[in-house]
Structure 1
Amino acid sequence: MSVPPAQLRDAGATAGADILQSRLTGLSPQDFARDVWARTALLTRRASDFDDLFSAGAADELISRRGLRTPFLRLAKDGATLDEASFTAPGGVGATIADQIDDTAVWRAFADGATLVLQALHRTWEPVADFSTRLGTELGHPVQANAYITPPQNRGFDAHYDVHDVFVLQIHGCKRWVIHEPVHPDPLRNEPWTDHRAAVTSAARGTPRIDTVLEPGDVLYLPRGWLHAARAQGQVSIHLTLGIHTHTRYTLAEQLAQAALAVLREDPGMRRSLPPGTDGPADKDEIDTVREHLIAALGRADSTPLFNRARRSEARPAPLGPLAQHTALHTLAPETPLMLRPALAARLDGTRLTSRAGFLDCTPADMPALTRLLDGQTRTADDIGLNLAARLLRAGILVPAPP
């Protein structure tokens, strides 16, 4: 039985389909894609109430009670990042790892004007993690989340640009943002702003495109490459930055080139040594021959597996509780409700199921049940088949559905 590659939709994708419009921009996905995405900055006033995502209490809990280690926290002041050794220490008996956050040292630095940057909240704070996953599902690009907590009248960083798009969600207090258009449009991930430091510094002295104060509930969207600097106003400012790590045409070109080179590896003529006396790249005949074969290989190459593999590696599936999974497996019954684990990025390639939880080789007889999982809806173990359901639970692909 031949089964074409098929995308298994992440559970919860439908629920996340309105985040962009209902909580961030007020624009339909179509309008945002046509008029804003990767083109221009967008300021949306009173977009949403973000108290359900993050708060001052959440920041205090993460710093003081969760045993965070670097690099989950950075400190910055007046454009410089502070040495990690200045705010980390061992955690005492039974927790002697030296790079744990020292909340006393963090407090002293904050009182002295340092900005606290809680990094990778999509891994450490559940409401932000869920929100980021849903937004990433909607956009089709991976999302990371950081929180920036800045004392009054202070700034953490000088004018700079990011190599990913960002949504800035103001949570608490107010912050003045000064935005300038790019000096290097659409930078790639290996093209940081420091490569263009002089141009960035010069442009930041000019007339800004946006000069505004964000208040709680406001959202600012910046495409990668747009210059920005921010300063807290009369009270502590807390904002979330959602970084969208966009796939680009250059990314696709890299993957296509890799796939073409894999094709050429199987060509004995391309593996052959150059003749004695060949002047390397200056030998036009040899270069022409290689170019001809490379163009032909590009026409035969399939970069889809590389793209899917890269996509799977850019994020992790939704959290999995080992004890809850053990209970579900050992109490499995025909009526047990099950669902695909969210954020799994699962695909059927022939009879192989690949996902962020690894791969599972299945049989042709399993294909109808696996295909029924394509819609991301809750299924009973009986509908899937008890033996297959048990295998998928054990592999971490299915999870118990919420009541």
Structure 2
Amino acid sequence: MAVEHGGWKAAPTAQPSLGLSGLLSPYDTADFKREFWEKKPLVIHRDDPDYYADPLTFRDVDHILSTSSVRSSELKVVVNGQEIPLVEMAASGPGGPSNGLEVLYDLYRKGSTVVFKFLHERWEPLGRLCRRLSGEFSAGFQANAYLTPAGAQGLSSHYDTHDVFVLQVWGSKHWRLYESPEELPLQNRHYRRPADGPGAPVREFDLKAGDLMYMPRGTVHDATSNEEASLHITLGVLPVLWSTVLKDALDRAIESDPRYRASLPPGFALDPGLRGEAAATLAELLASVAAAVHPRDLVERAASRALVGRQPVLDGHLLDLEGLRTMGPDTLVRRRAELLWSLSHDGPGVSLEFHGKVVRLPARIEPELRQLLSADAPFSARQVTGALDVEGRLVLIRRLVQEGLLTLV
């Protein structure tokens, strides 16, 4: 059954992060969504080399490299235009994986780009940025970083199957954009580079530190660093597509009506008359799909899907679980910062949705639950008001700490 949202709400963030308006500044976000989103690239030049100092700096990357596990498949190098996991390169080198960092730097000195996949999962400032953008965009966000030595090209010309924001953090890079062979390709439609190359660029420009570029999925591109090393972040956007919602509609129709699960007429492949009957039946079934599903339910399911890809906010949760044993009526807790949640009625109870899951609770505790969800300051079970006694409030608070919505102060 679809979860009907009473409206997603967000707790205040623990620290300010860039957000969409800051990312696009001085360009207006409404203008961007109307004129550029999924339509054409946008390039923003700024005279501010430290604009992205909050999410990532060149010094941060030096630290990340010195403390990274080379055995991780998420640390890669680009050799001859192709990404290769560093662990594969290190395995054949002197000392094996133990000497992987030297192997990485040797490749970097020779012109290879270093790729940090899913860096938002390991670097909290990028994680915070992705979570904020995910809430604003109703889409998943992921962050990769690309470190290219001076005068080198990273990946060969290609397009991405998701929209991308490029944030130039250090140095500069010369970008070339080409004619795109396919508009808004789906995830399984990877770029096939023509034998004679992508053709002449339709646009060329430099991105310097502090600049930004947005590219719709399907934009063919490549880039070369200039006279110094280049570091840029790519923010990949993973939205819910209409194609996904339409597939969901068809799946729900198939589940609800046996007509969609019946077979085509036996012998139809060799009988023109039966093929004609099958075509008429198919037309009736396709026409009936709209009546078999409810658009609002499908959109509500899409809303849930959009937020499942958002990285959970669970710092300190291990300590919270250990602290459950000693919680009392005066123990202070707070709602987690950056948390997106939705509360809705679900038959005899209420459904609380967050972190990609649904917690179902009795309807009678809704007043107390809403107090906990709307509280901006820390609180204890004794401070909550309502029909529940103190012990009942403590049971509710313990449950929400256990589920990760609340955290101990």
**TM-score category of the 2 structures, normalised to the smaller one:** 0.7 to 0.9
Number of residues of Structure 1 aligned to a counterpart in Structure 2? 384
Q: Distance in 2 between matches of 1:109 and 1:186?
A: 34
User: Would the aligned equivalents of 2:245 and 2:302 in 1 still touch at CA under 8 Å?
Assistant: yes
Per-residue CA deviation, residues 13-58 of structure 1 (Å, 9 max, x unaligned), is 7987972222333223222212222222111112761122212332
Give 1:309 deviation, angstroms.
5.0
User: Would the aligned equivalents of 1:9 and 1:346 in 2 still touch at CA under 8 Å?
Assistant: yes
Percent identity, aligned pairs only, is: 26
Choose which of 280, 290, 295 in structure 2 pairs with 1:298: 290
> Which residue does the alignment assign to 2:60?
58
One-letter code aligned to 2:249: L
Segment of structure 1 superposing worse, 132-141 or 99-108: 99-108
> Which residue does the alignment assign to 2:369?
370
Q: Distance in 2 between matches of 1:18 and 1:260?
A: 42
Structure 1 residue matching 2:69: 3-state secondary structure: coil
TM-score by length of 2: 0.82
User: Would the aligned equivalents of 1:393 and 1:399 in 2 still touch at CA under 8 Å?
Assistant: yes
One-letter code aligned to 1:239: H
Choose which of 169, 172, 183 in structure 1 pairs with 2:170: 172
Residues 113 and 287 (structure 1), Cα distance of their counterparts in 2 relative to 1, 3 Å cut: same
Per-residue CA deviation, residues 308-331 of structure 1 (Å, 9 max, x unaligned), is 453344233123323431466434
Residues 146 and 332 (structure 1), Cα distance of their counterparts in 2 relative to 1, 3 Å cut: farther
Gaps in structure 2 of 5+ consecutive residues: 386-392
Q: Distance in 1 between matches of 2:239 and 2:5?
A: 24
Give 1:366 deviation, angstroms.
2.2
> Which residue does the alignment assign to 2:29?
29
Structure 2 residue matching 1:61: 3-state secondary structure: helix
**Residues 195-344 of structure 1 aligned to structure 2 (within 5 Å):** 197-198=193-194, 202=197, 204-209=198-203, 211-264=204-257, 267=258, 269-271=259-261, 276-279=266-269, 283-301=275-293, 302-304=297-299, 306-326=301-321, 329=324, 330-334=326-330, 336-340=332-336, 342-344=338-340
Q: Distance in 1 between matches of 2:372 and 2:33?
A: 29
Give 1:118 deviation, angstroms.
0.3
Residues 39 and 103 (structure 1), Cα distance of their counterparts in 2 relative to 1, 3 Å cut: same
Gaps in structure 1 of 5+ consecutive residues: 91-97
Residues 227 and 371 (structure 1), Cα distance of their counterparts in 2 relative to 1, 3 Å cut: same
Residues 280 and 30 (structure 1), Cα distance of their counterparts in 2 relative to 1, 3 Å cut: farther
Q: Distance in 1 between matches of 2:99 and 2:375?
A: 40
> Which residue does the alignment assign to 2:407?
399
Choose which of 50, 70, 73 in structure 2 pairs with 1:71: 73
> Which residue does the alignment assign to 2:138?
140
> Which residue does the alignment assign to 2:357?
358
> Which residue does the alignment assign to 2:388?
none
Structure 2 residue matching 1:198: 3-state secondary structure: coil
Structure 2 residue matching 1:252: 3-state secondary structure: helix
Q: Distance in 2 between matches of 1:374 and 1:259?
A: 33
Per-residue CA deviation, residues 346-398 of structure 1 (Å, 9 max, x unaligned), is 55351232332633220011222334466584462433833211110011122
Segment of structure 1 superposing worse, 222-231 or 24-33: 24-33
RMSD between superposed Cα atoms in Å: 3.2
User: Would the aligned equivalents of 1:70 and 1:100 in 2 still touch at CA under 8 Å?
Assistant: no
Give 1:236 deviation, angstroms.
1.0
User: Would the aligned equivalents of 1:369 and 1:383 in 2 still touch at CA under 8 Å?
Assistant: yes
User: Is 2:388 aligned against 1:386?
Assistant: no
> Which residue does the alignment assign to 2:19?
19
Give 1:161 deviation, angstroms.
1.0
Residues 347 and 110 (structure 1), Cα distance of their counterparts in 2 relative to 1, 3 Å cut: farther
User: Would the aligned equivalents of 2:254 and 2:260 in 1 still touch at CA under 8 Å?
Assistant: no
Choose which of 142, 154, 157 in structure 2 pairs with 1:159: 157
Give 1:113 deviation, angstroms.
0.9
Structure 2 residue matching 1:362: 3-state secondary structure: strand
Segment of structure 1 superposing worse, 332-341 or 161-170: 332-341
One-letter code aligned to 2:37: W
Q: Distance in 2 between matches of 1:312 and 1:75?
A: 31
Structure 2 residue matching 1:53: 3-state secondary structure: coil
Segment of structure 1 superposing worse, 227-236 or 54-63: 54-63
TM-score by length of 1: 0.83
Q: Distance in 1 between matches of 2:98 and 2:302?
A: 36
